[in-house]
Chains A and B, each alone.
Chain A
Amino acid sequence: EVQLLESGGGLVQPGGSLRLSCAASGFTFKTYAMSWVRQAPGKGLEWVSAISASGDRTHYADSVKGRFIISRDNSKNTVFLQVNTLRAEDTAVYYCAKLKENFGDSSADSWGQGTLVTVSS
């Protein structure tokens, strides 16, 4: 059974940083692309970033480009999202998702439970 467990969220001041983690199990992690999707309170889903299976290709939403960095450690079955220069509008639940293919532009087939990031002074 695929399991994705996010961690690292919390309350942070505007301009601050956090490192979100997603620990994966139940599948051969190194062969699948991974993605982060967020959801602001009361709003819809917003795609944030994706990384290929090998980690050599990354993609970002315009709203986070230059501030967020996605990475992965295939030896530890973990994908990360470094979120920097946080703004109030980054407040959201951040979901980790496993993609169906080894490249980032593919459908998600499994989701974590999410980790809440709150940006407030």
Chain B
Amino acid sequence: DIQMTQSPSSLAASVGDRVTITCRASQGISRWLGWYQQKPGKAPKSLIYAASSLHTGVPSRFSASGSGTDFTLTISSLQPEDFATYYCQQYNTYPLTFGPGTKVDIK
């Protein structure tokens, strides 16, 4: 199975900060990677597909890049509604696998 890791596991940031989260796959997955946001007690929300494409309705302050094994999600200017946990998921190979998540807290 492809293992997904994320760093950091958590971070504290202020409104307006630029935040970057890294996701690494244990083997190459081309660009078959998605990013999801989840707030406590809520369902996940899809942010990114194909490593860098925004799902409909996702604010442009979210961006993502990468291919192969290394990927990043960037929030250019953190907003109050962005405090949440972020997960990456590879869909290159079954079984599909998620990263362990990165929790973004308020500083």
Using a CB–CB cutoff of 8 Å, the interface residues on chain A facing chain B are 35, 37, 44-47, 50, 59-62, 95, 100, 104-114
Contacts and interface: CB of A to CB of B under 8 A. Distances in A.
Contacts of A110: 46
Contact of A45 (B87, B91, B92): B87
A106 B101 CA distance: 19
Q: Is the interface of B mostly helix, strand, loop or mixed?
A: loop
A45 B94 contact: no
Interface string B29-40: 000101010100
Given A45-B38, A46-B98, A109 B55 contact: yes
B8 interface: no
Nearest to B96: A47
A111 B44 contact: yes
9 A-B pairs closest in CB distance:
A107-B49, A107-B34, A47-B96, A111-B43, A45-B98, A44-B101, A61-B95, A105-B91, A59-B94
B1 A62 contact: yes
